Each structure stands twice: as structure tokens, then as C-alpha cells.
Structure 1
Amino acid sequence: MAQKAAKTLAASNTRRLNTTLYLTLAIHIFFWLLRALIFRPSFARKSLVLYLIFSAPQLFIQFQFERIARPTYGPDGQVRRSGDDLEAKGLTEYMWDVTYWTYGCIILVSVLGDWAWWWWAVIPAYSAWLLYTTFMGARQGYTDAADVPQPTSKRQAKMEKRGGQKVQYR
């Protein structure tokens, strides 16, 4: 039972990374097959440049996930390093959003044409919205913290109602 959490995380990471790798390969091969077989006359240099520009972030994220989360095993089969958690909140979660959104955009571009790359613009807009809401939430939290009265217990409220705490001298 030694290192059960590390083994569980390693198995989870391996499963998720393999699924993501196969999905990435399938989607990119789908793009290239449709472009080569069906949309061949319209597959020009501009289309190739757009594909490289808009799929590069997803491919970079895929590489980063492989680098930081792929578990390593020792010669005896024991988990040497389980890798970072792919279910983590924050930046990892955002990287998954970019990956899945890019998958959708590549599929749309494969079927509908190059104009569908405009859907990829949602990612920077979403990032800007997250940044704005985070900044405004933090800013509001800093200004409202001093204005909000501290909650009092029922005992303290009763004592204040009677005139406050009285000190008796003997």
C-alpha cells in the first residue's frame, strides 16, 4: 500500500494523457485528410499558415502536459515520479479549455473552411473576461472588507442592546 496516492495519480495521468494524445492525432489527421481529399483546391499557403498559427498553442500545451504530467517508473516498476495533477484548478484548467476549444475549431475548419478560425477568437475574449472579473472581484473585496461590520454573536448583541458591557467595581 506504499505510495497508493502516487500510483493512483500516475495511473490517472497516464490514462488521461494517452486519451488526449490519441484524440489530438485523430483530429489533426481528420483535418489533413479532409483538406487533402475534399478541399484540395482551396488548401493554399494561407490555409496552412492559419492552421500552424492556431493549432500551435494546443500542440504546445500537449507537449507541456506530456513533460510535466507523464509518470516515470523505475527499473523495478515502482513509480519514481507520478507527475503533476492534470485535474488541478487554475492554469491547468485553462490549458484544458484551450485544448478542447482548439479541437472544436480544427473540426469546424475541417468541415466548413478557413473562415471558422474566427471561432478561435473566443479564447482571448474569455481570457480577458476572466481577467476583468478576477480584478474587479479582488478590487471589490479590498474596498468592501473595511465597510462590512464584523458579525457578532447573539450574546454580544444582547449585551450591546442592554447598554454594552458593564464593569462592576468592588
Structure 2
Amino acid sequence: MANSSQKKIAHENGKTLLALRKGFIWVNAFYFFYRIIYHWSSFGFGLAISYLLTAGLTIVLYFQINAMGQPRYNSKGELVDAGQDLTQEGLVQYAFDIIYVTWFVHVTSAFWSKMWWFYISIPAYAGWKAWHLAIKPMLARNAAGMAAGAAGSADGSAGAPAGQSKRQAKLEKRAEKGHAVRVQKKM
């Protein structure tokens, strides 16, 4: 039997999934009637392919989110599993962001077809996140390691300051990072 927090998660997930279904229906109905039917003369093959690919992407993401957030009940109708909390940060939120950007592009491109270029914001944001979370720290770590190696080869020790053993330098480096380490200084 699930507790009240699981029931709350299941209820919130149900509301979120319903809102996604309604949003998908309204946005695509608007695009279909306004852009495809009303402005058929300006609707070409390229726009049709772009629309079908991005609408297909939102369908795939919706089914993925639906599978993760769908509550499961036993034969008695009691909640067994509330599913993943769809309000947590992580990949689910990125899926929501892609869906929302797609909806924005569909609605605005119904009026001005150049708005399809806004879709580039998704890989641009992914590149920015990758730079700040993975690439930049890795480059900084490599640069610091190369600088320490060059300093160590210049004075004969392997990166330890003058008058310190390698062990003492290692312990002080850990202490600077915030780990609880006791360092005994020579007197």
C-alpha cells in the first residue's frame, strides 16, 4: 500500500500527463488548421518534413515521459507504484524543455516560417551544458596537472613544494578540496 507522498506524486503525474496531451492536441490542431489549411500556398515540402519530424519527436518524448510517470495499481485498485516524479530535475525535464520549444516553434512558425531556426537553441543549449559540466572542468584539470608536472620536473620533486614530502603535499591538497584531513607540520 502506498503512502500519501506516493499518492500525491501519482496525482501530480496524472495532471502533468493530461496537460501534455491537451497541449499537444491544441498546438498541432492550431498549426494544422492555420498553417497547413489556411495558408496552404506557402506550405512546402521542407516545412512538411520539418513539421512531421518535430511532431514525431514530441510524440516519442511524450510516450517516454508517459511510461516513466504512469502510476501502477494492483488488482484491488490500490496504488503500487506512483512512477517517477516528473517534477524532478534531470533528463525528464530536458524532455519537457524539448517539447515546449517544439510547441513554441510550431505556434510561431505558423505566422513566420523563419522561426524554425529557433530550434537550433536545443543543440546550442546542450553544447553549452556539455562545455560547462564536462569539457571545461576536464580541460582545467589537465592544464593543472600539466603545470604541476612541469613544476615538479624543474626542481626534481614530483609536484611537491620545497621542504615537503610527497605525502604532505597530497594531504594538503586534499585539505584544500574540503576533505577532513589532519596534516602534521614539521617544526
Please indicate the TM-score interval, normalised by the length of the shorter structure.
0.7 to 0.9
* Structure 2 residue 101 is the aligned partner of structure 1 residue 101: yes
Structure 1 letter corresponding to 2:175: Q
Deviates more, 1:1-10 or 1:63-72: 1-10
* Matched residue SS, 2:111: helix
1:137 shift after superposition: 5.0
1:26 & 1:70 partners in 2: Cα distance? 22
Within-5 A mapping of 1:3-42: 3-42=3-42
Structure 1 letter corresponding to 2:130: L
Q: Kindly tell me the number of residue pairs found equivalent between the two proteins.
A: 157
Aligned position for 2:125: 126
TM-score, normalising length: structure 1 = 0.78
Structure 1 letter corresponding to 2:133: T
1:116 & 1:50 partners in 2: Cα distance? 12
Unaligned runs of 5+ in 2: 146-169
Would the alpha carbon gap of residues 86 and 43 (structure 1) be closer, same or farther in structure 2, given more than 3 Å must change?
same
CA RMSD of superposed structures (Å)? 2.8
1:148 shift after superposition: 4.9
Per-residue CA deviation, residues 17-62 of structure 1 (Å, 9 max, x unaligned), is 1011101111011100102342111123222111012232222111
TM-score, normalising length: structure 2 = 0.71
* Structure 2 residue 149 is the aligned partner of structure 1 residue 150: no
* Matched residue SS, 1:150: helix
Unaligned runs of 5+ in 1: 165-170
Aligned position for 1:112: 112
Aligned position for 2:51: 51
1:143 shift after superposition: 7.1
Structure 2 letter corresponding to 1:128: G
Q: Percent of counterpart pairs with the same letter?
A: 21
2:143 & 2:81 partners in 1: Cα distance? 44
* Matched residue SS, 2:175: coil
1:92 shift after superposition: 1.4
Task: Give the number of the structure with larger relative contact order, counting CA–CA contacts within 8 Å between residues 6 or more apart.
Answer: 1
2:128 & 2:173 partners in 1: Cα distance? 27
* Structure 2 residue 101 is the aligned partner of structure 1 residue 76: no
2:175 & 2:142 partners in 1: Cα distance? 15
